[in-house]
Structure 1
């Protein structure tokens, strides 16, 4: 299967999963720093990944060929990155660490969607990798990038917490 076909299937699945399959409860709860928030986010990611898998299978049936190891790795990558982004505080912290917090505060939806779409590129590359080993190695590299993002996010959240503490102490 071609990279373009895989990317478009993932993108369409993302939009269906984010807009149509996501419940109101999931949308309003998934960012909460609670067990309910984590469960809602997990349920949302599961339904979104199912939407991507169905569309990917449809494209594979039309074009022929889908390597199961690469497909599983690519879908896992979209699921992990989507969960990370949708926990909200993670993306807010990353935006803060990268000097983009003002923009994030003005338009968090745009930053959220941009982050999701960016992660579809490496997922499509993993799915179209020439061998299972290449797909697994690329997935590992992507997980390292996600780990760096988490580290930066934690640093950014620390700055946010310090700023809030200072603001409340001076108020």
Structure 2
């Protein structure tokens, strides 16, 4: 069963000279692959969910159905969390830029975006409070204060930790989308 949210479109890697190598640009796509940290945590969560599902079957055979239903619900919540973790990241289309978080998704149309740029600054390491020096891809909107600029991607998040070349390719791709559609 193909999981389209797990792999990025290979056209970004195949065509380095073409910034926007897609025919259907209205479809939301992530211009990079999820990193090994994100995939590893999701795999561990799915492994945990398989044990919980097995426990739900055993409970259903030996105890009450309501207890098995609660454990089955917990397994479904863990599976949903793992899938949402894999879906997190920055997605682009001709309509705008979408930042998918674990609980919140923000979509900004290209018309509201002033610039998307890469800067050197302190960034959070794997989303934890510890900050290290790295690069961040910043999104500046028209209706936004100058000091309130969120980082879309960083070199030390779960997708790009210890993969600076992947960060550079992803940042260049997103900047190319912004340059193409931000002119509006």
The normalised TM-score by structure 2 is 0.29
Please identify which structure carries the higher helix content.
1
Larger Rg: 2
1 or 2 for the larger relative contact order (CA 8 Å, sep ≥6)? 1
Greater share of residues in strand = 2
